[in-house]
Structure 1
């Protein structure tokens, strides 16, 4: 059976962007299982009492029904460098529980902290987050990510981040990169200096 996950941030006593998670959760259930009646995830979520003053990563694993919900204290993993990898066939338009392909690409990172996936000549995502790039005082992010996360979707709607078609040769135009996902905002993301995105200088300037 095909399984999916929904990762929800619990912070400051509430579930962040729960309406966007509900939208993706129910869209996936309809697409793969033909289920028309929407469910509200917040009715199934209950953070343990000893975690209520923490930042908690709530992971919902589901198919046609919710299989399990895990609650874990969250700390941002340091990511200060990226290794570009190319995969023109990868498909992660839905948040699949099976991350075998992503994990295989992650293993190609060499000495870098994470990967930056290039598909059909365009920049997409890291192994677990959307990526944004800063030019002057504006932020840009790939127009066609592998998975459009709830956080980047919110930034697009608010106008804080502009979607754009970005290829590796565009990277010298930017001063820094950051990662965003359900657990990581622009403000608390680690900073990735452009020169720490491996291979692009070698490929562009050789």
Structure 2
């Protein structure tokens, strides 16, 4: 049964950050199915587009079930609404996004939601986040999903993990949204009452 996905950025025929995608896929298979053997996404992507910017969507369960490529356009995000859920669990990149979609539906006139769990910032509905203070970028220690781009940026020392209480967001100057398809600092909002809205 296919239950999980990896979304991979493809630039001019090369799958980006593949090591972290493979690691997360195999860690998920181990945790959910108890399968220790290692799969390599590269073995399933023979028809990879050779030029341009694409999204590769890998669907898997015990094995890889489907691989598809499509053109990618970044969603416009200029404002966020803080919404809370202390019970949401999205530790694995599941195809079941019902909880995320329910929270996204609470965005009102804003473009996306910034999800608060146990009074701490986590992610938006589509991306990990980092907040800037005095030139340092901090990312929530307990995101909903430990993204592959987040893992790479932490490994490179670009980001620092810390707990970010929702009532301290105004002490930061900017918020960056990023994921496998959205490069770090390509989507940055200044934090003010027009861009980050409280319920």
Q: Tell me which interval the TM-score lies in, with the shorter structure as reference length.
A: over 0.9
- 2:107 corresponds in structure 1 to 109
Verify: 1:192 aligned to 2:189, yes or no.
Answer: yes
Query: Does residue 147 in structure 1 map to residue 169 in structure 2?
Result: no
Q: TM-score, normalised by structure 1?
A: 0.91
Mapped to 1, the partners of 2:96 and 2:2 lie a distance apart of 8
Name 2:161's counterpart in structure 1. Answer: 163
Offset from partner CA, 1:85-134 (integer Å, 9 cap, x none): 10000001111111011011101000111000000110000001101111
Deviation at 1:2, TM superposition (A): 6.2
Q: Which moved more, 1:133-142 or 1:82-91?
A: 133-142
Moved more, 26-35 or 81-90: 26-35
The structure-2 alpha-carbon separation of the partners of 1:66 and 1:134, relative to structure 1 and needing over 3 Å to count, comes to same
How far does the alpha carbon of each residue in 1:166-192 deviate from its partner, in whole angstroms, 9 at most, with x for none? Answer: 01121111111110111111132x222
State the SS of the aligned residue for 2:123: coil
Kindly indicate which of the two structures has a greater share of residues assigned to helix.
Answer: 1
Give the distance between the partners of 2:166 and 2:12, measured in 1 at CA: 38
- Offset at residue 13 of structure 1 (A): 2.8
Distance in 2 (CA, whole Å) between partners of 1:24 and 1:47 is: 22
Cα distance in 2 for partners of 1:159, 1:191 equals 19
Aligned length: 197
Q: Conserved in 2, the CA contact under 8 Å of 1:80 and 1:193?
A: no
> Which one of the candidate residues 167, 173, 176 is aligned to 2:174?
176
Query: Equivalents in 2 of 1:70, 1:163: separation in Å?
Result: 33
Q: Name stretches of at least 5 consecutive residues in structure 2 with no aligned partner.
A: none
Task: Find the counterpart in structure 2 of residue 6 from structure 1.
Answer: 6
